[in-house]
C-alpha cells in the first residue's frame, strides 16, 4: 500500500458494509462530518523558499511523553469490530512508530490487556460513568498500569444519532452501560454521564496527579473554563462529526481555542485528518499533536497492526515533505502565517 488512499480502499474491500458504515459515518445528515473535511479544502499552505531544510525533525512531546512524530492514535472503543486484536494492535503499531496511543476505557481488548501487551508510555481515555468511588477505582487502576495521562471525553452527554447505524440496525456501543462500570447507589452508565458538570473535572483532578486532557472542546469559552479547572491539555475535537449534526469543523475552531488557552495548556486536535498536510495545517494553527481515529481504524481493517503502522509511516513521509516545502525543519517552526484561507 503505497498511499493512504490505497489503505482506505483495502479497508473498504475487507470490512462488512455495516461495519464500514459505522467507521465512516457521522451524526444524522453528516454535515459536521463533511465540514471537518471541507475545512482543509478551504485552506492552502503558503510555501517559503531559500531556507535550510536539509534536515527535518518531526519529533515533539505530548505532556512530556516523547513522540517521533506529532500524530497519536485517538481513542476508539470499537476497534475490535475491524480487527480482533483491536487496541492491542493499534498500540503496538504506535509504539513501533515511536508515537503513542490513547487507549479507551471501553476498548477491547481492555486497557489492562493493552498495557500488558505494550510496555510503552500511553494515555488512557475515559468517560466518567460513576461516583467518586468509581472514579477513584478507575484512576488507581490507570495509574498502576503505568498510563501517563488521562483524557476525559466530555462531548458525549448523550449518544449522537448515527443514521447509517440506525438504518443498518447496527449497535456497536460495546456494553457502554454495563453495571460493573457504574458507581454504587446512583445513576449508572451513560445516564450518569448526561448529568455531569464542570465539577467532574475537579473530582478527577482531586483523584490523580496524572496530567488531565479534556477531549471534545470546540468552544473558546469552554477552553477557558478547562484551564481554570486545572487541566493540562485541551483536545479540540467534535467526536469525528459523530455527535452533534450541523456542528463546527474542528479546524475552524482551533485558532479560537488556542487564543483562549493562551499557552496555559497543551493543545491536541482531531477531525477529518486524511493526509500529512492536514496534520501540518493543524500544527501551524496551534495544535501540538494530532489524533487520528477513522484513519487508524481503516489501517487496522486493511492490514491489522502493520496497516496502522503503514498509515503512520505514510503520514510521516507526507509531513516531512510539507514541513520542508514550508521552509521549516520542525513542527515548532510552523506558524499561522503558513496557512491561508480562500474567501
The pLDDT tens digits of the residues spanning 90-100 come to 999 999 999 99
CATH of the domain at 142: 3.20.20.70
- Whether pLDDT at 175 is above 50: no
**What pLDDT is stored for residue 237 in this prediction?**
99
Q: Is residue 337 part of a domain?
A: no
For residues 213-229, give the mean pLDDT. 99
Indicate the pLDDT class of residue 183, thresholds 50, 70 and 90.
Answer: very low
More confidently predicted of 264 and 178: 264
Q: Is residue 224 part of a domain?
A: yes
For residues 243-265, give the mean pLDDT. 99
pLDDT digits (tens, 9 = 90+) for 117-145: 998 889 999 999 888 999 999 999 999 99
Q: Which three cell numbers stand for residue 308?
A: 496502522
> Catalytic one among 151, 181, 239, 275?
239
- Whether pLDDT at 185 is above 70: no
Q: Is residue 76 part of a domain?
A: yes
Q: Is residue 342 part of a domain?
A: no
**What pLDDT is stored for residue 186 in this prediction?**
41
Q: Is residue 318 part of a domain?
A: yes
**What pLDDT is stored for residue 181 in this prediction?**
36
How many structural domains does the chain have? 1
Q: Is residue 253 part of a domain?
A: yes
Q: Is residue 340 part of a domain?
A: no
Calculate what percentage of the chain has a pLDDT beyond 70. 95
Q: Annotated catalytic, 181?
A: no
Please state, rounded to an integer, the average pLDDT across all residues of the chain: 93
pLDDT digits (tens, 9 = 90+) for 22-44: 999 999 999 999 999 999 999 99
Q: How far apart are CA 322 and CA 328, in angstroms?
A: 9
| Residue 118, domain extent | 4-331
Q: Which residues pair with 125 in a beta bridge?
A: 104, 151
Q: Is residue 343 part of a domain?
A: no
CA atoms within 13 A on the CB side of 134: 21
Amino acid at each position: 500500500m503505497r498511499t493512504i488512499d490505497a489503505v482506505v480502499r483495502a479497508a473498504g474491500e475487507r470490512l462488512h458494509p455495516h461495519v464500514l458504515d459505522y467507521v465512516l459515518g457521522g451524526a444524522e445528515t453528516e454535515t459536521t462530518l463533511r465540514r471537518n473535511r471541507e475545512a482543509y479544502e478551504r485552506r492552502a499552505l503558503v510555501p517559503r523558499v531559500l531556507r535550510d531544510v536539509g534536515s527535518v525533525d518531526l519529533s515533539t512531546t505530548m505532556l512530556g511523553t516523547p513522540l517521533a512524530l506529532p500524530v497519536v492514535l485517538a481513542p476508539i472503543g470499537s476497534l475490535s469490530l475491524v480487527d480482533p486484536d483491536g487496541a492491542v494492535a493499534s498500540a503496538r503499531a504506535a509504539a513501533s512508530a515511536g508515537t503513542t496511543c490513547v487507549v479507551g476505557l471501553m476498548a477491547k481488548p481492555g486497557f489492562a490487556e493493552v498495557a500488558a501487551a505494550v510496555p510503552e508510555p500511553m494515555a488512557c481515555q475515559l468517560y466518567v460513568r460513576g461516583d467518586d468511588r468509581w472514579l477513584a477505582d478507575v484512576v488507581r487502576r490507570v495509574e498502576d498500569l503505568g498510563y501517563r495521562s488521562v483524557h476525559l471525553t466530555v462531548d458525549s452527554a448523550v449518544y449522537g444519532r448515527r443514521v447509517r447505524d440506525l438504518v443498518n440496525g447496527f449497535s456497536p456501543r460495546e456494553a457502554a452501560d454495563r453495571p460493573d462500570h457504574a458507581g454504587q447507589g446512583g445513576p449508572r452508565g451513560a445516564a450518569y454521564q448526561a448529568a455531569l458538570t464542570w465539577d467532574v473535572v475537579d473530582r478527577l483532578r482531586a483523584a490523580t496527579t496524572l496530567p488531565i486532557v479534556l477531549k471534545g472542546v470546540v468552544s473558546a469559552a469552554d477552553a477557558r473554563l478547562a484551564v481554570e479547572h486545572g487541566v493540562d491539555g485541551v483536545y479540540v475535537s467534535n467526536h469525528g462529526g459523530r455527535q452533534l449534526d450541523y456542528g463546527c469543523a474542528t479546524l475552524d475552531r482551533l485558532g479560537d481555542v488556542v487564543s483562549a488557552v493562551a499557552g496555559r495548556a497543551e493543545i491536541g486536535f482531531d477531525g477529518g485528518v486524511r493526509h500529512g498536510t492536514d496534520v501540518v495545517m493543524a500544527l501551524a494553527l496551534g495544535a501540538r499533536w494530532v489524533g487520528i481515529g477513522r484513519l487508524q481504524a481503516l489501517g487496522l481493517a486493511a492490514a491489522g497492526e502493520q496497516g496502522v503502522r503503514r498509515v503512520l509511516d505514510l503520514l510521516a513521509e507526507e509531513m516531512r515533505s510539507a514541513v520542508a516545502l514550508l521552509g521549516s525543519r520542525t513542527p515548532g517552526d510552523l506558524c499561522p502565517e503558513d496557512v491561508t484561507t480562500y474567501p
